[in-house]
Structure formats: structure tokens, C-alpha cells
Amino acid sequence: MIKLVIFDLDNTLTDFMGMKESAVDAAVGAMVDAGLRFPRDDIKAKIYEVYEREGIEFQKVFDRALEELIGHVDSKIQAAGIVGYRRAKEASLVLYPHVTLTLIELMKRGIHLAVVSDAPRKEAWLRLCYLQLHHMFDFVSTFEDTGERKPSPVPFQRALDHFGITARETIMVGDWPERDITGAAKLGMITVFARYGDTFGTTESGADHEVDDIYELVDIVDQFNAARPRAGS
């Protein structure tokens, strides 16, 4: 009997990398307009170079990029980049198709919903609020809550402990096999690979199930829970 479904956040519920690409492009354009005299491709490459070193959630990426490009942080250019980034982020942070429908269907079935993410706590909650999902999840665990990143079993175990639910009563859904699938499998959770969010060209996920559309998760849960008819069927 499935009682809990845990989701990764980025590239599982929302197209995080698509958002990041759009936001960085907007930031670069804004910084050039504010007076940064470098080719756009060079600025973008520098920003991603910083992300590669410091992590994709690094909050001072424009400061570091400016220091390395011009030797100091120009506040006018910095502010233009931040505003351009934030405006584009809000416009491009969207859910994958059928996410809301899937969550509603799982809630109708009495399934607990949780998020386990490696994102910083503030950023995870900001994304959930932007997406209007913050009221749909019973539990959210971020890197700052455990100090450990997936595939460590600790973040997953924290969710199980919160609900008092066993691993075999839990499904983990994620797009990154080496983190989401491996970490959950260590505890014996049923694993689902979100192939629609894969950015690595994965051929073998190692998951128990793979889905090309998140709504397929409803069928998987129903198969485990004696398949109750859906509304309208």
C-alpha cells in the first residue's frame, strides 16, 4: 500500500534548467545594456563557469562574474543583472504538464505528498510559492534541514520519520538517477524516474519505473493500491 510520494523539485516538478537558461540570458542582456562591454556569449560563459565551480544555486554569481571580468563589482551593472534575472525567472518558472492534476489526484487518494530537495531552504520555498504548490505538500526537506545531499539516505529517512511511514510504502520520483533513485533505493523505496525532466541523456536509470509524463504516476500508485476508478471514468 502506497501512503507517501516524495518528489524531487527541480526538473521533476518544474523545468529548472529551462528557467535558469532564460533567466541568465535576460541577466546578460540587462548587464550589457547597463554598460558591460563584453560579448554576450563571453559573459554567459563566465556566469556558467562560476556556477560550475560554486554550484548552480550560488547566490552571488553576478558579483563573482563581474570581479573576474572587470576586476570589481559595478553596482549599476550588478543591479541590472539581478533585476533582469528575477523578472525572467518569474516568467519562465513553470510546471511540467499535468503536475497540478497529478498532485490533486494523489491527494484525492489520501496519499501524503513531500519534497526532498538539495536546494537551499529559501530557494526551494520560493520556487514552491511561485508555482503555487506550497499548500499541496505535507512536508518539505532541503539541504539545510539535514546538512546532507542526495544520494545520502538521510534526507529521505527524515521524510519517512516525519510521517511514520515505511520505505516500502513510499514512492520517490526524481530526474537524477545517481541522486534521487540511488538514494531512495538505499532505503528500499519504490523509485520512479522522471524521464521527461532528464537533462543527462540517461539510458539506464536503475529505477523501478520510468515515466514520460508525470500523470503516469497515478496509474503506478493505483496498481499498488488496488486500482480505484478515477473521477469521471
Please tell me the predicted confidence (pLDDT) of residue 226: 80
Task: Work out the percent of the chain whose per-residue pLDDT is above 70.
Answer: 97
Domain boundary among 39, 67, 92: 92
**Chain segment 19-44, per-residue pLDDT in tens:** 999 999 999 999 999 999 999 999 99
Do 133 and 80 lie in one domain? The reply is no
For residue 228, pLDDT beyond 70: no
Each residue's pLDDT tens digit, 56-100 = 989 999 999 999 999 999 999 999 999 999 999 989 999 999 999
Q: State the pLDDT at residue 57.
A: 87
pTM of the predicted model as reported, rounded to 2 decimal places: 0.85
Helix axes 16-33 and 75-92, enclosed angle (nearest 10): 150
Residue 121 sits in the same domain as residue 208:
yes
Query: Are 9 and 21 in the same domain?
Result: no
The CATH number for 80's domain is 1.10.150.520
Band the pLDDT of 106: cuts 50, 70, 90: very high
Determine the Cα–Cα distance for residues 116 and 119; give it in Å rounded to an integer. Answer: 9
Measure the CA–CA gap between 155 and 226, rounded to whole angstroms: 29
Asked if 21 and 79 sit in the same domain, the reply is yes
Verify that 21 and 11 share a domain, yes or no. no
Please count the structural domains in the chain: 2
- Are residues 10 and 115 both part of a single domain? yes
> What average pLDDT does the chain have?
94
Q: Given a cut of 50, is residue 232 above it in pLDDT? A: no
**Strand order, beta sheet including 170-174:** 139-141, 112-116, 4-7, 170-174, 190-194, 209-211
Whether residue 229 is contained in a domain is answered as no
pLDDT of residue 90: 87
| pLDDT value, residue 233 | 43
Same structural domain for residues 109 and 219?
Answer: yes
Cell numbers representing residue 75 in the block: 553596482
Last residue of a domain, one of 65, 92, 119: 92
- Residue 196, domain extent: 4-15+94-224
